[in-house]
Amino acid sequence: MPSLDELNRAAPDEFSRAFGPVYERSPWVAERACARRPFASRLDLELALCGVVRSASEAEKLALIRAHPELAGREARDGALTRESVREQASAGLGTLEAHEAAELRRLNACYQERFGFPFVICARLNRKDAIIGTLRARLANTREQEIANAVAQIGEIARLRLLDLLP
């Protein structure tokens, strides 16, 4: 990974390639943040990325949420997760679910998707599988507006950790 100074001087497409994966299948966040260069620090870059998301329209926020895979879902079973999502879901123990845990997670994910119209998002790296299942169960009681806010906040945590991986 090039240094932040090098990325401040890089062509926009190179900058977007480097930081596009910070937001799951949503390179538009890095593309818009690129226009705010130069960044004095990783934190400055993080704030710019968060600012892009914060100022996004509701439709863009929903697209960002929907870009996230269902936890331990079809994409995981089909091997279609991003490299980052594979690592994150594995760190939470989602790759080694017992049959009853997998069935419960599938059931809860389906209920959540039906209720809110987007997948449940949680920062898997900061949680274990039992906490994820419990949080999913609890968040089903929320309003759609609360869940959009929760998902965007969790995406911010995911992005912060991914950015730390790229620029420690």
* Residues that are catalytic: 68
Pull the structure tokens for residue 97. 């679910």
Q: How many C-beta atoms lie closer than 10 Å to residue 131's C-beta?
A: 14
Please check whether residue 53 is in contact with residue 23, taking contact to mean a CB–CB distance below 8 angstroms. Answer: yes
